[in-house]
Chain A
Amino acid sequence: MALQIIFIFVAAVTLGGALMTVTSRNLVHSALWLILSLFGVAVLYVLLNASFLAVAQVVIYIGAIAILIIFGVMMTRRLVIDPSRQINNTWWLAALLSLVFFGGLSWMLSTWDGFWSEAPIMAVNIDPLKQLGKALVAPDLYVLPFELASVLLLAALIGSIIIAYEKR
């Protein structure tokens, strides 16, 4: 019961933050609301007992990405406040499409049999962090996606160095 109240509160904050991100006129405020929304997602991970995901969410999204976004916005200070209209004439089409999309996703989720059942209580002596780490490098589990992601990130890193490199 208490968990449900916390969940509803956190979900409302997350959604409210997301809404303010797209409606706020000030770009830096948008970025700050985005941070609130991402933080709400991290709290949802905590409620799901996924401590590693929660902390990684804060480190990666708030610690790195959101700060990069704020940096980018501040570098373009002239454009921080956008005075133009925020909606155009086809707003009803967008609203309809998103409603249909939301309905479709909810219907699909409700057909999944895990949707209505209660979450199983995790065994006390299992360390989910260790299992996650082992699963990431086990050959029959996720080692290939894991390595692919690392190669992609390495390529992005080298690419950014090449772009920024000045010939002397």
Chain B
Amino acid sequence: MAFLHDPITFIANWLQTLLAGWGLSSGLISVILTFFGVLVAALMLLVLDFSLVWVERKTVARLQDRIGPNRIGPFGIFQPVPDVLKLLIKEDITPEGADKIVYNLAPIFGLGAVLLLWAVIPFGYKILGTDINVGVLYIVAVGALGTLGIIMAGWASNNKYGLLGAFRMVAQMVSFEVPMVISLLIPVILARTMGINGIIEAQGGMWFVIVSPIAALILLISAQAELGRAPFDLAEAESEIVAGFHIEYTGIKFGMFYAGELLHALTFGAIISALFLGGWRGPGAETFPFLGVVYLFIKAFILYFVIMWLKYSLPRLRIDQMLNFNWKFLTPLALILLILTAILSKILENAGITLGSSPLLFSGLFLMMNLILVGITVLLLRAYGPKHPKVIAEPRPVAVTPETPATDIS
């Protein structure tokens, strides 16, 4: 039973006694255990990533009214195997004039930055990588490494389209980092801690998505932009710059970017569910930590589905539309929400109403504040927002309906 209640400590203790029996020193044992833990977590995520290929292909197929992979295994579930084999045996091309070392480092940054994010996301009660007290800021910092990987890829491949794609992508990521960081601060204010485990524990009474739905929505939108997925996928707009920053990458190097992108989407799902949907919280998650892992992944996959749903339903924005939307709408809204949340939480704290003591009243007041803010935003948008899309020219019909053919020959 000890295994079911606290599996990580149980396994760690078992391994420790085993290794101590072999006569290793305690310092070496802790190094080996840490290394082993990191290895297992990273391998698990990569295996999961492997299966995401199938999930993504099957979902997009259904959204586009196709069947999708259906040849290999039931429902095509083993499709990732030939996909990855194909990537592995493809020719590895390094373009002429490319900066070899930077060119080869970039995909490692692309995938590594995503894997690093999982270090602070708790999988379940007492199943977590590390609980640093600056977890939320760590997510932002690791995101910066991902940006670095993209700019390295775009520059090193010695390709104009690649460089343009990297520029677009980095401009987008740096811009959307602003509303993302501000909306990440709202759970921090509500939970009074920056550690992700602390934020999850503070959501025992009420999930933060109910306390602050606007922040959750802003985080979802900016996550979509950080991922470079439609409607913000102009970094890889096929009609303009072919494929963006990974235009020159072939074989498994491209595969690493692709895997990084897929896992990044799921990772953002997990981050949003940890910050706003209670993470591993659910019935019985504290007595049986493995249930918590299941809950976390269910929530993460639901959000991943939302992200895919948005991606495959919306058309691409132009770069000025994307930047206007960020700087003139999302950022001011997030800033006002941050100020209001800080003031309201301080007022309620002084009045003796906290999330722990009276969760319903607390979240009700916050929800009301959020709804009022939504109302004011809608009114302001109606009064001052863009009324009509700018018309540049009259639409020209590309195909003209044919005249009705003469049926009778006279």
Contact = CB atoms under 8 A, between A and B. Distances in A.
Given A32-B102, A59-B144, A51 B132 contact: yes
A62 B145 CA distance: 8
B134 A74 contact: no
Interface string A37-81: 000000000000001100110110011101100110010000000
A71 B170 contact: yes
A133 B71 CA distance: 58
Given A32-B102, A67-B147, A67-B170, A59 B140 contact: yes
A71 B171 CA distance: 10
Interface in B120-174: 132-134, 137-138, 140-141, 143-145, 147-148, 151-152, 155, 163, 167, 170, 174
Nearest to A35: B148
Interface residues of A, number: 23
Contacts of B138: 55
Contact of A51 (B133, B167, B177): B133
A2 interface: yes
A28 B141 contact: no
Contact of A28 (B147, B155, B167): B155
B141 A67 contact: no
Interface in B168-217: 170, 174, 177, 194
Nearest to A74: B155
A63 B155 contact: no
Contacts of A55: 134, 137-138, 140-141
Contacts of A28: 99, 102, 155
B34 to A, nearest CB: 12
Interface in B14-62: 27
Interface string A96-117: 0000000000000000000000
A137 to B, nearest CB: 12
A59 B137 contact: yes
B143 to A, nearest CB: 7
A58 B151 contact: no
B192 to A, nearest CB: 9
B174 A67 contact: yes
Nearest to A61: B144
A57 to B, nearest CB: 8
A88 B145 CA distance: 36
B370 to A, nearest CB: 25
Nearest to A52: B134
Main secondary structure of the interface of B (DSSP, over half): helix
A18 to B, nearest CB: 18
B27 A2 contact: yes
A32 B163 CA distance: 16
Contacts of A71: 151, 167, 170
Contact of B143 (A29, A51, A63, A66): A63
A63 B144 contact: yes
A59 B194 CA distance: 15
B144 A58 contact: yes
Nearest to A128: B133
A67 B134 contact: no
Counting chain B CB atoms within 10 Å of each CB, which of A2, A63, A129 scores highest? A63
Contacts of B148: 35, 62, 66-67
B147 A56 contact: no
A20 to B, nearest CB: 12
Contacts of A118: none
A64 B133 CA distance: 22
A48 to B, nearest CB: 14
A140 interface: no
A56 B181 CA distance: 13
27 contacts: A28-B102, A28-B155, A32-B102, A35-B148, A52-B137, A55-B134, A58-B141, A58-B145, A59-B140, A59-B141, A59-B144, A62-B145, A62-B148, A63-B140, A63-B147, A64-B144, A64-B174, A67-B147, A67-B148, A67-B151, A70-B151, A70-B155, A71-B151, A74-B167, A127-B133, A129-B133, A129-B194
Interface of A: 2, 26, 28-29, 32, 35, 51-52, 55-56, 58-59, 62-64, 66-67, 70-71, 74, 127-129
| Interface pairs A-B: 4 shortest CB-CB | A63-B144, A58-B141, A55-B137, A59-B141
